[in-house]
């Protein structure tokens, strides 16, 4: 029994250390079928998702979902710490009677307490190791506690830095493609520029963004659960818009070259396919058709109103359908798993961009600028 406890404790410790190393240090996706981190997220995200589906207000639902990413990161660290503490307690238990606690009997619960105070280096001194192996285990666990603290200090800033880099381009997309963004809006605003350098530069920036997205989300999969600052924005929505736009350019638009669009499409599609595996999204070729023939006709009219002629011959439509089939099943699978609303090709109604809104806009509109003397009166508050 004692030998089995010692072996079980060693296995738990090694499993936690391997999982922490693969999650925090190793910069690549692990293809092994079972991982502790994957098991943890699978069994925490599903109930969270069920609760989110019961919230009918989109803004409140998005706010509720936004808590999961940061909270799960903290809970994962707690999960690892608890595993190490329990594993060392099993090792101490398997080693036999080698700790002293006054006249009280040393039970397994006492050993878990001893393991916890050693891991967090509290050093109360109420339980004392009485031989060499017990002292070695105590020193090893205390050192591991320090290392764990270092992981926490180093891991969290890196994750939030990657999140900030991801959100930078998403925020910039607001003025270029609307809120929420759409392919027709981006092309209408930038596709009719006299110099295509502007549109190509946008494509080039998003090619780099897609590469960063892929690298960061493979290294830190928890970023997939981090939501954007606005409820009508998301990393998946931005990726989808860029795939839609480049697919339209590659299908054929008069006066717009396809060179940079092809490079951006390739990188964005690569990100979509690999990230579908990160969030365990299943490929489904019979997904919802995001662009019906009626919607395609509406898209052509919207682009034509901005001076853009989307090719309408059979070859162009076939090419667009083929390009869409290369990424839409993946992004729709990701959207289902993460409960993210995908952007439409053409916005259903004209809405103000996020940058056009403000906390006092409703007050201004209700009272009128003239009534307020040309500017809103706000209460002077000190924070």
> What band does 338 get if pLDDT is binned at 50, 70 and 90?
very high
Which of 4-18 are b and which e, b meaning 16 or more Cβ less than 10 Å from the residue's Cβ? ebbebbeebbeebbe
**Virtual torsion, Cα 8, 9, 12, 14, nearest 10 deg:** -110
| CATH 2.40.50.100 is right for the domain spanning 2-153 | no
> What band does 192 get if pLDDT is binned at 50, 70 and 90?
low
Of residues 359 and 112, the one with the higher pLDDT is 112
Region 196-203 average pLDDT: 88
Note the pLDDT of residue 361. Answer: 63
> What band does 376 get if pLDDT is binned at 50, 70 and 90?
very low
How many Å from the N-terminal Cα to the C-terminal Cα in the chain? 61
What six digits make up the tokens of 89?
């307690």
Note the pLDDT of residue 380. Answer: 43
What six digits make up the tokens of 333?
């699978």
Give the whole-number percent of the chain exceeding pLDDT 70: 87
> What band does 383 get if pLDDT is binned at 50, 70 and 90?
very low
What six digits make up the tokens of 54?
């019961």
Note the pLDDT of residue 359. Answer: 64
Parse the chain into domains and list their residue ranges: 2-153, 178-356
Residue 281 DSSP class = P
Give the whole-number percent of the chain exceeding pLDDT 90: 47
Region 290-317 average pLDDT: 91
What six digits make up the tokens of 72?
């799960």
* Contact call for residues 137 and 129 (beta carbons, < 8 A): yes
Peptide bond into 112 cis (omega under 30): no
pLDDT tens-digit series, residues 160-170: 999 999 999 89
* Contact call for residues 231 and 62 (beta carbons, < 8 A): yes
What DSSP line would sit under 96-157, residue for residue?
-S-EE-TTS---HHHHHHHHHHHHTT----SSEE-SHHHHHHHHHHHHHHHHHHHHHHHHHH
Of residues 92 and 72, the one with the higher pLDDT is 72
| Mean pLDDT value across the chain | 85
Note the pLDDT of residue 224. Answer: 94
* Contact call for residues 139 and 201 (beta carbons, < 8 A): no
Region 86-102 average pLDDT: 77
């Amino acid at each position: 029994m004692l030998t089995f406890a010692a072996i079980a404790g060693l296995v738990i410790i090694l499993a936690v250390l391997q999982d922490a190393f693969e999650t925090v240090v190793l910069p690549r996706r692990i293809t092994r079928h079972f991982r502790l981190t994957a098991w943890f997220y699978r069994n925490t995200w599903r109930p969270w998702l069920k609760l989110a589906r019961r919230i009918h207000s989109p803004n409140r639902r998005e706010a509720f979902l936004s808590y999961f990413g940061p909270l799960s990161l903290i809970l994962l660290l707690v999960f690892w710490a608890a595993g190490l503490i329990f594993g060392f307690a099993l090792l101490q238990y398997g080693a036999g009677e080698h700790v002293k606690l006054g006249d009280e009997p040393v039970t397994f619960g006492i050993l878990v307490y001893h393991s916890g105070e050693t891991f967090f280096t509290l050093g109360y001194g109420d339980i004392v190791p009485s031989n060499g192996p017990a002292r070695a285990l105590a020193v090893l666990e205390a050192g591991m506690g320090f290392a764990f603290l270092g992981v926490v200090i180093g891991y969290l800033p890196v994750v939030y830095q990657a999140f900030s880099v991801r959100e930078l381009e998403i925020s910039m997309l607001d003025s270029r493609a609307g809120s929420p963004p759409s392919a027709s809006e981006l092309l209408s605003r930038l596709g009719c520029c006299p110099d295509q350098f502007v549109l190509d530069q946008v494509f080039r920036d998003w090619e780099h963004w897609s590469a960063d997205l892929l690298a960061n989300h493979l290294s830190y999969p928890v970023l997939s659960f981090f939501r954007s600052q606005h409820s009508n924005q998301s990393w998946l929505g931005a990726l989808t818009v860029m795939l839609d736009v480049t697919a339209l350019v590659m299908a054929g638009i008069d006066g717009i070259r396809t060179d940079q669009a092809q490079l951006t499409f390739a990188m964005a599609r690569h990100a979509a396919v690999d990230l579908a595996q990160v969030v365990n999204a299943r490929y489904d070729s019979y997904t919802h058709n995001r662009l019906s023939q009626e919607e395609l006709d509406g898209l052509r009219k919207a682009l034509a109103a901005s001076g853009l002629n989307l090719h309408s011959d059979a070859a162009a439509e076939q090419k667009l359908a083929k390009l869409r089939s290369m990424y839409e099943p993946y992004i729709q699978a990701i959207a289902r798993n993460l409960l993210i609303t995908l952007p439409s090709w053409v916005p259903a109604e004209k809405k103000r961009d996020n940058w056009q809104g403000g906390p006092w806009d409703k007050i201004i509109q209700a009272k009128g600028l003239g009534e307020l003397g040309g500017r809103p009166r706000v209460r002077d508050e000190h924070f």
